[in-house]
A and B are shown apart, each in its own frame.
Chain A
Amino acid sequence: MSHFTHLSLPLVSGRSRLGVDGWLFGAVLGVVSLGGAEAAIAHGVVTTYQIKPQIQLRATYDSGEPFAQAQISVYPPNQDTPSQTGQTDQQGQFLFTPDSAQPGVWQVKVRAGGHGAVMNIPVAAATAAEPTEQAPQTLAATTGGGVYTPLQKGVMVGAIAWGCLGTALFCLRRKG
């Protein structure tokens, strides 16, 4: 859908009422109105819109705090130079629109202060002529082990500590 606004000046002429002066005024006004038609169009506002799929990233530390002000580089498939760069906001969020003419796996690098992550996002080619409403998908990429609850972390630390204690006791055992 497009919206187009065209402004023009009204041409007023009245021979019987205005006489010679009226003619002159009308002629000048007409010249101004017709000659300035292009300029009037240039002052118009043209607004169009297009629905495109957008990808919203949210980067957090594994402790849950937002990865704020981190640098983002977006790489199209099979390219070494980023097509877009930017920064995450205070909530660790970043929004970008992949070019659907370049389907494949887009790579997004997030980093700040030597910390960061690499995310691979598959982007399908645009097939439908009309955009359809889709439920937002949430995908996650972590730098490794994932995000665990404190209880899960506690169990993991306990398991490792138990293993280390077992190793220590094994080495301290009395040799019969």
Chain B
Amino acid sequence: MHIPDGILPAQICLGGYALTGLTTWFSLKQINRCANPLEGVPRAALLTAAFFAASLLRIPLPPASVHFVLNGMLGVVLGYYAFPAILVGLGLQAIMFGHGGLSTYGVNAVIMGIPALVAAALFRSRDRLFPAQAQTRWLTGSFAFMAGASGVGLAALVFYSLVIFNLPADLNAQAEQAALTTLLVAHVPLMLLEGAFTALLVLFLEKVKPELLNLRRNTHSL
């Protein structure tokens, strides 16, 4: 899921940095609109650590090997805080483990950060579509599952599209397409896993600390 240095042309890398800068500015602006912007920082800090460590948890799905991303879960729990949290986590992953590169840092933030915001919006749409009385645990769990799965699914699709549309001419395009398709298919079980994990976490938080997810009262949420 992390694109390393040397895979994408320079224009795409620069575009990734520009889009990341814009999204970070937008996210911070939204965070700053809430009464106490520091309120969400402890959660964001702890989930940044979870995101950072998740890339080390590999799931062998022969012939490919995938790792946890957790961007959908971050979007559901953190809202707009998810993008800066993913940005920090990706930077640490690139510097310490070499997952991704520094030239592709912006692109990787777009690949994982923007789907996190989409996942957050999807989960929050529950409040707009259903009144509070109609929100059962099953409904909450279903929305959390869809949001968690869509985060990693969208990220895999963006990754696939970026690489497939920027293949160098000297590369065997057929072989690369086959490898990329295999990798994309290998993310389907990961989507189910991350969806289930997000649903369980949301149902747990709703039971023990519902204010973390009650978005009607949190202005910084999507």
Are B171 and A73 touching (Cβ within 8 A)? yes
Taking the nearest CB of chain A, how far is it from the CB of B2, in angstroms? 8
Is A124 an interface residue when CB atoms closer than 8 A count as contact?
A: no
Q: When each residue 73-91 of chain A gets 1 if its CB lies under 8 Å from chain B and 0 otherwise, what string results? A: 1000000011001010000
Are B3 and A114 touching (Cβ within 8 A)? yes
Is B46 an interface residue when CB atoms closer than 8 A count as contact?
A: yes
Is B213 an interface residue when CB atoms closer than 8 A count as contact?
A: no
Is B180 an interface residue when CB atoms closer than 8 A count as contact?
A: yes
Most B Cβ at <10 Å: residue of A63, A143, A145? A143
> Contacts A61-B65, A144-B95, A144-B98: A168 and B46 contacting too (C-beta < 8 A)?
yes
Are B171 and A153 touching (Cβ within 8 A)? no
Are B97 and A63 touching (Cβ within 8 A)? no
Are A144 and B45 touching (Cβ within 8 A)? no
| Cross-chain contact of B183 among A114, A145, A156 (Cβ < 8 A) | A114
Are B49 and A161 touching (Cβ within 8 A)? yes
Is B52 an interface residue when CB atoms closer than 8 A count as contact?
A: yes
Is B188 an interface residue when CB atoms closer than 8 A count as contact?
A: no
Are B42 and A143 touching (Cβ within 8 A)? no
Q: How many residues of B contact A (CB 8 A)?
A: 42
> Contacts A161-B49, A161-B53: A168 and B4 contacting too (C-beta < 8 A)?
no
Which residues of chain B come closer than 8 Å to A116, judged between CB atoms?
4, 6-7
Which residues of chain A come closer than 8 Å to B160, judged between CB atoms?
114
Cα separation A165 to B101 with both chains bound (whole Å) = 26
> Contacts A63-B65, A71-B171, A143-B98: A168 and B182 contacting too (C-beta < 8 A)?
no
Which residues of chain B come closer than 8 Å to A144, judged between CB atoms?
4-5, 94-95, 97-102
| Cross-chain contact of B96 among A142, A145, A161 (Cβ < 8 A) | A145
Q: Is the interface of A mostly helix, strand, loop or mixed?
A: mixed
Which residues of chain B come closer than 8 Å to A127, judged between CB atoms?
none
Query: Interface extent on A, as a size class?
Result: 35 or more
Is B48 an interface residue when CB atoms closer than 8 A count as contact?
A: yes
Are B179 and A156 touching (Cβ within 8 A)? no
Are A118 and B98 touching (Cβ within 8 A)? no
| Cross-chain contact of B6 among A62, A109, A161, A165 (Cβ < 8 A) | A109
> Which residues of chain A in 82-116 are interfacial with respect to chain B, using CB atoms and an 8 Å cutoff?
82, 85, 87, 109, 111-116
Are B46 and A165 touching (Cβ within 8 A)? yes
B159, closest chain A residue (CB) = A114
Q: When each residue 165-206 of chain B gets 1 if its CB lies under 8 Å from chain A and 0 otherwise, what string results? A: 000101110011001101100000000000000000000000
Which A-B residue pairs are the 10 nearest by beta carbons? A144-B98, A145-B98, A113-B179, A168-B42, A164-B49, A118-B6, A114-B163, A167-B45, A143-B4, A168-B45
17 further interface pairs, Cβ-Cβ under 8 Å (given A144-B95, A163-B49, A167-B42) = A65-B65, A69-B175, A69-B179, A71-B172, A113-B180, A114-B160, A116-B4, A143-B4, A144-B102, A145-B97, A145-B99, A156-B96, A157-B52, A161-B49, A164-B48, A167-B45, A171-B41
A-B contact list, 19 entries, CB within 8 Å: A71-B176, A73-B170, A82-B170, A87-B175, A113-B176, A113-B180, A114-B179, A116-B6, A117-B4, A142-B98, A144-B95, A144-B100, A144-B101, A145-B99, A164-B46, A167-B42, A168-B43, A168-B45, A169-B42
